[in-house]
Amino acid sequence: MDDSRDPAALHTPVMLRRCVELLAPALDREGAVYVDATLGMGGHAEAVLTACPTARLVGIDRDTDALELAGRRLARFGDRVTLVHAVYDRFAESLDELGLREVDAVLFDLGVSSLQLDEPERGFSYARDAPLDMRMDRTRGVTAEDVVNDYDETALRELFYRCGDEKLAPRYASRIVRERADERITTTGRLVEILQAATPAAKRDAGHPAKRVFQALRVEVNGELAALERALPQALDRVRVDGRIVVESYQSLEDRFVKRLFAEASTSTAPRGLPVELPEHRPQFELLVRGAERPPLDESETNPRALPVRLRAARRIRRNDA
């Protein structure tokens, strides 16, 4: 990694102003704690710490390169910043290690960062030839090469359907298995060639054939959906009364899970037909946005990576024991 690079120039945070607007009201007290569960290069964190001068940050990320860059970017905030190397499903464990029971605000900005996409050797991009890696944390775990070469045809087909919404999943899985029988598939360029060859001519103008397959592989390699399913309930549990949580999702499976969990947390548990809602049945959260917010048009035009984002936000209004 080039240590001279400017983190601010590498990545443009998505819906930055809106995230700060939603999180800041929970951070107006001395010593308020903001958890950025997907710190990346620290763009959102920098904006929140600037807007909320008495707040402190716990920044979590699995990518050691991102943590190093974010650390330099946030150095001016001194001891207001604590960085944690972890996957966000260690949310509660990370807070326990810091002696924090509750926090005031939480942000999950899901998906892959520009740092990962724009470094060819990371293997996230189908536009550049590189080793098939795709690990956000390069210190551990299976690679995309392992998945492509070791999963059987059924597993690949189901992965491309489930995590990529890829309609051509059967064709792609079959072609991959056939090609790898002759030689192990080790690079993004070779995988792209195989996918292009397996794409019917009539479908070749409907977007790049590798886009959804690469998404599915990235999600699988990094256990993104499973991590989110473990992490978000932990985060909701740790948000204090009047605290806020914001989630930015970039694919439908993530957003559907966030939508369901937020809906459950913001819905009364009173049995149907009960004439009076008892206090213990009242929702614990209220939704702060109607449905899922999309980025403004001008942002989508200047930052194409903002196009798929769906933002949801909620505020805790009570606890079970309150």
Residues 27 and 105 in one domain: yes
Question: Which segments are annotated as binding site?
Answer: 42-44, 61, 88, 109, 116
Neighbours of 317 (CB within 10 A): 15
Residues 230 and 111 in one domain: yes
Residues 24 and 72 in one domain: yes
Residues 101 and 36 in one domain: yes
Residue 311 lies in a domain: yes
pLDDT reported for residue 95: 98
Residue 200 lies in a domain: yes
pLDDT reported for residue 1: 46
Domain C-terminal end among 221, 238, 258: 221
pLDDT reported for residue 11: 66
Residue 97 lies in a domain: yes
pLDDT reported for residue 26: 98
Domain C-terminal end among 172, 196, 221: 221
Residue 305 lies in a domain: yes
Taking the model in full, what pTM does it have? 0.84
Residue 19 lies in a domain: yes
| Residue 203 belongs to domain spanning | 139-221
pLDDT reported for residue 268: 78
- What's the domain count of the chain? 2
Residues 84 and 228 in one domain: yes
Question: Which segments are annotated as binding site for S-adenosyl-L-methionine?
Answer: 42-44, 61, 88, 109, 116
Residue range 119-165, pLDDT digits in tens: 666 667 777 888 998 888 877 889 999 999 999 999 999 999 998 88
Which segments in the chain show pLDDT lower than 50?
1-2, 322
Residues 198 and 253 in one domain: no
